[in-house]
Amino acid sequence: ISMEAELREAVERGEFINFYQPKIDLKTGKLAGAEALVRWRHPQRGLIQPTEFVPVLERSGLVTQVGRNVMQRAMEDWRAWHDAGLKPPQIAVNVAPAQFRCDSLFDDIERALNTAEASLRPLSIEVTESGLVADQRRVVDILNRVRELDVPVAIDDFGTGYSSLAYLVTLPVDVLKIDRSFVVKMTQDANYMGMVQTIVQLAHTLELKVVAEGIETEEEAKFLKLLRCEQGQGYLYGRPLPAEEFARLLQH
Ligand code: G
Ligand code: G
Ligand code: MN
Ligand code: NA
């Protein structure tokens, strides 16, 4: 049985679950958001990481359905935490390039928002550069409509894609996420430190906020704070957690 066929069954059986990884305000050290990250709870093999199956989801088109479910579940969890008196932060959901090409994306976002409390800005989205390069006018149109719903848009894995800066400056987005491959190397290699500094400056020139991914050490955090990077995400602050454990983190 192929992985694609297995994944098709997994979608029907509802075997995907959401984990949540905290994002921290680097200035205050306080929780500033979370990213929803999908996991496959395989009946025999246990928990499977997205690097093993997201590429297959993308190739097969199943990512549209799974991505929609991740977003809906994120807002259901947000709602449950809110109703329990916790103060859930804004949750970022990854939107695959195929979802961007799918006509239902805007409706999916609206439905998810209505599940939560839209006025409290419960949702943001993360899109990789590859999701943004094709069909520029359509992409810009969708991004504008999404942002009118008070859903901020982040460019994920920034610096690793193939889009030109000339194109990026025209995109209606709110946040750049610096890819963790830069963060990992920045304290070892002056070239990478310079790159990170340049990305933060570029973002600020364009009036975008910056989130650094994959922060694992205090030293990395210190430099990113000096560069005035707004938010950080990484094992230093917390690993992706199941919903129940993330709720416990919200209680403290
Ligand atoms: O959770 P982990 O750190 O292993 O994520 C690995 C990769 O899988 C990341 O690139 C992440 O963006 C991607 N990913 C995780 N969850 C989702 C999801 O819900 N949708 C999409 N499209 N990609 C995801
Ligand atoms: O969407 P994106 O590709 O940015 O997804 C984040 C991925 O990075 C997830 O797979 C998550 O588990 C992983 N990740 C998050 N923080 C860290 C970290 O500090 N170190 C490493 N190695 N991976 C991380
Ligand atoms: Mn992401
Ligand atoms: Na990503």
pLDDT tens track for 104-163: 999 999 999 999 999 999 999 999 988 888 888 899 999 999 999 999 999 999 988 877
Is this prediction's ipTM beyond 0.85? Answer: yes
Per the CB < 8 A criterion, the answer to whether 191 and 168 are in contact is no
Average pLDDT over residues 200-227: 97
Percent of the chain with pLDDT over 70: 100
Pair 58, 72: CB distance under 8 Å: no
Give the residues surrounding ligand 1 with Cβ less than 6 Å away: 37-38, 49-51, 54, 63, 67, 70, 94, 96, 240
Which residues constitute the domain of residue 90? Answer: 3-251
**What is the pLDDT of the chain when averaged over all its residues?**
95
Structure-token pair, residue 119 = 């006025």
Q: Which of 54, 130, 178 for mutating ligand 1's site (highest number of atoms within 8 Å of CB)?
A: 54
Q: What is the mean pLDDT of residues 237-244?
A: 98
DSSP string, 163-188: --HHHHTTS--SEEEEPHHHHHHHTT
Q: Closest Cα to atom 5, ligand 1: which residue?
A: 50
- Residue 68 sits in a domain of what CATH number? 3.20.20.450
Q: Which of 94, 235, 239 to mutate to test the pocket of ligand 1 (most atoms within 8 A of CB)?
A: 94
Look at the block and give the residue holding tokens 């600020």.
204
Which ligand is located closest to the Cα atom of residue 52? 1
Q: Is the pLDDT of residue 1 over 80?
A: no
User: Using CA atoms, how far apart are residues 78 and 81, in angstroms rounded to an integer?
Assistant: 5
pTM (whole model) above 0.95: yes
pLDDT in tens, 214-230: 999 999 999 999 999 99
* Closest ligand 1 atom to Cα of 96: 22
Query: What is the mean predicted confidence (pLDDT) over 95-99?
Result: 94
Q: What is each CA distance from 88 to 27, 93, 122, 162, in whole angstroms?
A: 19, 14, 8, 35
In total, how many domains does the chain have? 1
Angle between helix axes 136-148 and 105-115 (nearest 10 degrees) is 20
pLDDT value at position 220? 98
